[in-house]
Structure 1
Amino acid sequence: MAKKKEVTNQDILGFYIDYFLENNKAPHSVYKFAKQYNFEEAVFYANFSSFEQIEKTFFTSLFQQTMSLLEKSEDFESYDARTKLLSFYFTYFEMLTANRSFTIALLKKDKNKLKSLSKLTDLRKHFKQFFDTLEIEKIDLKQEKLIEFQEKTMSEMAWFQFLFTLKFWIEDTSLSFEKTDIFIEKSVNTSFDLMDIAPLKSLIDFGKFMWQERSSFKM
């Protein structure tokens, strides 16, 4: 009998992608899956609890690879928030494109869209944590609860934008997915323009001035 292979979680992820694309479905059992790729079943459970966890790990693995590439760039830390988010999008979707067949098969495997979205729950946490690190200027609301609500709302809206971009990419039929690149640039720029608080701050300052000088305007 051939000696069982020593494999890593990335090896198992690679085996799973290979099996899924070859058979257009998940393996029937962990036992048969491990046997086919010549490693111990216990090794699988030392790395993953189920095939569903592998599917979640696929998306977070691409996230970690994306961040690793971005952080290797000497310029990345000096970028403003808008450029950092654009860099993330372009890099992450480039990796998705390199794994397009598996990504689409994975997200379209379940007719229940909520079940498909459940594969992205771990990615959602990582993405929102990354978004929260971006130095986006916020309105000084003074009250702690309002500040927390503002931060949660912004990161949640950013996640919805990501999902919308993912849907656009899945349906994109343009060469080299150039329309997705245009969509990313325009949608991120638009969202930052809408988050630009300078005009709102000017309006608030003007309101404060008018309130302080209200006695001068009595008829």
Structure 2
Amino acid sequence: MAKKKEITKQDIVGFYIDYYLENNKQPESVYKFAKHYGFEEPFFYATFSSFEQIEKTYFSSIFEQTMSLLEKSEEFSGYDARTKLLSFYFTYFEMLTANRSFTLALLQQDKNKLKSLAKLSDFRKHFINFYNELEIERIDLKQEKLVEIQEKSMSQMAWFQLLLTLKFWMDDTSLSFEKTDIYIEKSVNTSFDLMDIAPLKSLIDFGKFMWKEKVSFKM
């Protein structure tokens, strides 16, 4: 007798995506959903508390798969911060594209935009942690409170940039979403160019020198 295949958490997510796309709505109940796909209801509650939680963890699940793929690459760990972020973007949006119909359904089903953003809350935490771990050169502000403010503002801007990219991807009608690839490359490169602190550091160092030497500009 063949051994019955063990149902995994990822299987349940796959079942849910399949059901949602075929019926354009959530299952009527966990009981009917489990029965339809041939597993026991208690197993669902051992992995998810509700259908809403599946939707909420969907984007963070893709984040985890993205990082797993990137970390398997021997080159990834040696990339600079800019290249790591670009690699993340391209891989993450490639995975979203593989599930585009479901992704759009999740983000467009609520007229209340705040509800749509709530589905991204877990993913947001993962992304900001990832971004903060990138070795992005920052101005040495000396004071701990100012450093915290700087890091928070940078990560918030990075998250806002990702949301803008997501919106662009949702609206993109180009073949193979090639315009989204161009948008990603240009937006990420622009953000890093704007954060280039070398000129600013030189100006600050010059200002310190001028102050220290008390240079007079009397004519």
User: Which TM bucket (shorter chain)?
Assistant: over 0.9
What CA RMSD, in Å, does the superposition of the two structures yield over aligned residues? Answer: 1.4
Q: Which residue of 2 aligns with 1:148?
A: 148
Shift, 1:4, TM fit: 8.6
Shift, 1:133, TM fit: 0.9
Q: Percent identity?
A: 81
Q: Which residue of 2 aligns with 1:164?
A: 164
For structure 1, list consecutive stretches of 5 or more residues without a partner in the other structure: none
4+ residue stretches of structure 1 with deviation over 3 A? 3-6, 215-219
Taking the TM superposition and a 5 Å limit, the aligned residue runs for 1:128-143 are: 128-143=128-143
Letter matched to residue 9 of structure 2? N
Taking the TM superposition and a 5 Å limit, the aligned residue runs for 1:1-40 are: 6-40=6-40
Shift, 1:119, TM fit: 0.5
Taking the TM superposition and a 5 Å limit, the aligned residue runs for 1:33-52 are: 33-52=33-52
Taking the TM superposition and a 5 Å limit, the aligned residue runs for 1:63-74 are: 63-74=63-74
Q: Which moved more, 1:45-54 or 1:5-14?
A: 5-14
The answer to whether structure 1 residue 102 and structure 2 residue 85 are counterparts is no
Aligned pair count? Answer: 217
For structure 2, list consecutive stretches of 5 or more residues without a partner in the other structure: none
Letter matched to residue 133 of structure 2? T
The answer to whether structure 1 residue 59 and structure 2 residue 59 are counterparts is yes
TM-score w.r.t. structure 2 length? 0.95
Q: Secondary structure at the match of 2:56?
A: helix
CA distance in structure 1 between the aligned counterparts of 2:153 and 2:136, rounded to whole angstroms: 13
Shift, 1:58, TM fit: 1.4
Confirm or deny: 8 A CA contact 1:107 1:116 kept in the other structure: yes
- Describe the superposition over 1:97-149 as per-residue Cα deviations: whole angstroms up to 9, x where unpaired: 00000000111011111001111000000001110110000000000011011
CA distance in structure 1 between the aligned counterparts of 2:128 and 2:197, rounded to whole angstroms: 21
The answer to whether structure 1 residue 78 and structure 2 residue 78 are counterparts is yes
Letter matched to residue 108 of structure 2? K
